[in-house]
């Protein structure tokens, strides 16, 4: 039961409290008599049911003979309710419709509710997607962690308020009217989210084309050292430090690259920065883990500042592996894994695993945020160079050969300021959008709550009370069950006579 009856709110006049099995058949079986095994039917895996909206993908077909055993059967008009976690909590509920040959089969993780023919399916769909109902159903779940399910008995005995039939239709119409307006607002908010994403990309693109600082360059013309001079100075410094071991990267071909503003130049990342990867201490050695040294994995890189890690290692783990401590300010890039190409910027001293490459801007060629933002903007190009099979990756060599537009250092600082100003503004708008989307969902649930409390539409004293409706449904169900029992009995007699 959803609640003990004494805890339920007082029902409006004309309403009745019912259990789902009184007005429906739960998980009905296929009566295959007269149906050919060679027909095609709709096939509906769980992934084809959208959360909360009731939308379903009907594009998959299967031969009846292939699915009649081992899958869940349903027909047009049946309610499908996901019983397994987390699909149930997420609101995977739908009304089956437009099924091939009127029949469907799908995931075994659906409960099927076949309502009495007189009842509006949408009314019960809206009841099932209520957050309050889903939370109550969650408390009833049984099974092991990750495999929790709403039991069939809960569905059968689930209590729900039933208004008079005309009021059910009025409630459905009002919910649909309000949801249509709400959906239009949500769609507009989602459009803004998409536009903000495009805006961020446009800001970064214009930044590294020199468009954000065009006026600044004109105002400082002749005052700023060209990037080519800075690049040559860094090159000479690196040669001196290398003591004859300096290895220059192959010259870059810039013939197909965009023309840069005056004072800018193209360079490879490896011309001005050093790179190295980390390492993983042996997992079997407990003494290597749980120490004071933050230790990062590639999945923790999310194009953001990093000030904590999920794991840590000990000095012993550090000294007995290829892991090394990267200082605060180091840029990190994921070389492989699900987050390949993602960037991080250390706000702490930390070690990393071998799937992360550290980028060291020791010579000060790049302003601290300029390279960080450029690598984010360059990711799509970087990923085109991935190699490998099941888990494509990039190498340090690919990272070192990234071509980067290098402005004068003071202009880099101005570019970073302009990016920060514009992106911060967009992020503030994004926060407002997210808050509005959450308010819209709360409003949606508030509408549903009011509907099933009898507060969404007015009651009509002339409506036939729900008790009368329930009496008719119970009488029809009893008659139908008696006919079905008689049919089964006759079938059994025929079988016995054939055996004789």
Instruction: Annotate 104-158 with DSSP letters as a single string.
Output: EEE-TTEEEEEE-TTS-HHHHHHHHT-HHHHHHHHHT-BSSTT--B--HHHHHH-
Q: Which of the pair, 35 or 44, is modelled with greater confidence? A: 44
In whole angstroms, give the CA distance from residue 393 to residue 488.
63
* Per-residue pLDDT at 300: 95
Residue 473 in contact with residue 31, Cβ under 8 Å? no
* Per-residue pLDDT at 5: 47
Which tens digits make up the pLDDT trace of 263-313? Answer: 999 999 998 899 999 999 999 999 999 999 999 999 999 999 999 999 999
Q: How far is CA 262 from CA 56, 204, 257, 272, 408, in A?
A: 56, 19, 15, 20, 10
In whole angstroms, give the CA distance from residue 399 to residue 380.
13
Q: Is the pLDDT of residue 60 over 60?
A: yes
**Neighbouring C-alpha atoms within 13 Å toward the C-beta of 393:** 15
Strands 274-277 and 16-19: what pairing? unpaired
In whole angstroms, give the CA distance from residue 195 to residue 189.
10
Phi then psi for residue 30, to 5 deg, are -75, 125
CA dihedral sign of residues 88, 90, 93, 98? negative
Residue 425 in contact with residue 124, Cβ under 8 Å? no
Residue 288 in contact with residue 321, Cβ under 8 Å? yes
Q: What is the mean pLDDT of residues 63-81?
A: 96
Give the E-state strand segments of 316-361 in sequence order. 325-326, 331-334, 343-346, 350-352, 356-360
Q: Is the pLDDT of residue 3 over 60?
A: no
Segment among 82-96, 165-179, 350-364, 412-426 with least mean pLDDT: 350-364
Which tens digits make up the pLDDT trace of 131-173? Answer: 999 999 999 999 988 899 999 999 999 999 999 999 999 999 9
Closest by CA position to 341, among listed 311, 303, 312: 303
Q: How far is CA 117 from CA 103, 124, 157, 166, 391, in A?
A: 17, 13, 20, 15, 52
- Give ∠ CA 164-180-122 in degrees, rounded to 5: 35
In whole angstroms, give the CA distance from residue 282 to residue 289.
9
Instruction: Annotate 435-460 with DSSP letters as a single string.
Output: HHHHHHHHHHHHHHHHHTTT-SS---
Closest by CA position to 29, among listed 72, 66, 65, 84: 72
* Per-residue pLDDT at 485: 79
Q: Is the pLDDT of residue 249 over 90?
A: no
270 Cβ contact partners less than 8 Å away, ≥ 6 residues apart: 249, 399, 400, 401
- Distance, C-alpha 46 to centroid of its chain: 15
The H or E element containing residue 159 is strand 159-162
The pLDDT mean for the chain works out to 92
Q: Which two tokens stand for residue 187?
A: 């769609």
Q: Which two tokens stand for residue 210?
A: 């020199």
* Per-residue pLDDT at 244: 66
Q: How far is CA 137 from CA 87, 148, 156, in A?
A: 12, 11, 12
Residue 22 in contact with residue 470, Cβ under 8 Å? yes
Reply yes or no: is the peptide bond before residue 94 cis, omega within 30 of 0.
Answer: no
Strands 265-268 and 304-306: what pairing? unpaired
Residue 265 in contact with residue 226, Cβ under 8 Å? yes
pLDDT band of residue 4 (cuts 50, 70, 90) is: very low
* Bridge partners, 148 (sequence order): none
Q: Is the pLDDT of residue 341 over 60?
A: yes
Q: What is the mean pLDDT of residues 183-209?
A: 96
* Per-residue pLDDT at 1: 45
Q: Which of the pair, 19 or 488, is modelled with greater confidence? A: 19
């Amino acid at each position: 039961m959803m609640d003990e009856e004494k805890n339920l709110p007082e029902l409006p006049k004309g309403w009745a409290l019912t259990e789902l099995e009184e007005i429906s058949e739960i998980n009905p079986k296929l009566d295959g008599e007269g149906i050919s095994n060679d027909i095609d039917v709709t096939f509906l895996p769980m992934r084809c049911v959208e959360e909360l909206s009731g939308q379903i993908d009907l594009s998959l077909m299967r031969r009846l003979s292939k699915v009649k055993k081992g899958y869940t059967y349903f027909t047009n008009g049946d309610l499908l309710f996901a019983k397994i976690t987390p699909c149930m909590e997420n609101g995977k509920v739908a009304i089956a419709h437009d099924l091939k040959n009127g029949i469907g089969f799908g995931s075994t993780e659906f409960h099927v509710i076949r309502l009495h023919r007189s009842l509006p399916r949408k009314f019960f769909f809206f009841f099932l997607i209520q957050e309050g109902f889903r939370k109550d159903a969650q408390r009833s779940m049984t099974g092991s962690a990750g495999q929790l399910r709403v039991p069939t008995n809960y569905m059968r005995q689930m209590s729900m308020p039933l208004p008079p039939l005309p009021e059910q239709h009025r409630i459905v119409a009002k919910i649909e009217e309000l949801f249509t307006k709400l959906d239009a607002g949500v769609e507009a908010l989602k459009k803004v989210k998409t536009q903000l994403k495009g805006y961020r990309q446009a800001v970064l693109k214009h930044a590294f084309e020199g468009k954000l600082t065009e006026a600044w360059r004109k105002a400082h013309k002749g005052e700023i050292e060209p990037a080519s001079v800075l690049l040559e100075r860094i090159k000479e410094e690196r040669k001196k430090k290398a003591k004859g071991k300096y290895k220059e990267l192959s010259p870059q071909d810039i013939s197909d690259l965009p023309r840069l503003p005056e004072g800018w130049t193209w360079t490879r990342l490896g011309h001005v920065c050093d790179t190295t990867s980390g390492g993983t201490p042996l997992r079997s050695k407990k003494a290597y883990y749980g120490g004071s040294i933050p230790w990062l994995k590639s999945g923790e890189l999310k194009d953001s500042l990093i000030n904590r890690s999920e794991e840590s290692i000990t000095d012993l783990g550090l000294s007995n592996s290829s892991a090394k401590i990267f200082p605060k300010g180091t840029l990190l890039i994921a070389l492989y894994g699900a987050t390949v190409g993602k960037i991080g910027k250390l706000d702490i001293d930390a070690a990393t695993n071998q799937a992360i490459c550290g980028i060291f801007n020791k010579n000060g060629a790049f302003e601290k945020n300029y390279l960080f933002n450029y690598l984010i903007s360059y990711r799509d190009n970087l990923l085109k160079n991935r190699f490998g099979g099941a888990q494509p990756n990039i190498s340090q060599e690919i990272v070192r050969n990234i071509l980067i537009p290098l402005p004068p250092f003071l202009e880099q600082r101005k570019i970073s300021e302009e990016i920060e100003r514009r992106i911060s503004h967009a992020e503030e708008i994004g926060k407002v959008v997210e808050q509005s989307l959450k308010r819209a969902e709360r409003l949606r649930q508030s509408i549903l709550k009011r509907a099933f409390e009898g507060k969404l539409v007015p009651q009509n004293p002339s409506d036939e009370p729900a008790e009368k409706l329930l009496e008719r449904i119970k009488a029809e169900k009893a008659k139908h069950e008696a006919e079905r029992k008689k049919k089964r009995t006759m079938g059994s007699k025929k079988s016995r006579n054939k055996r004789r």
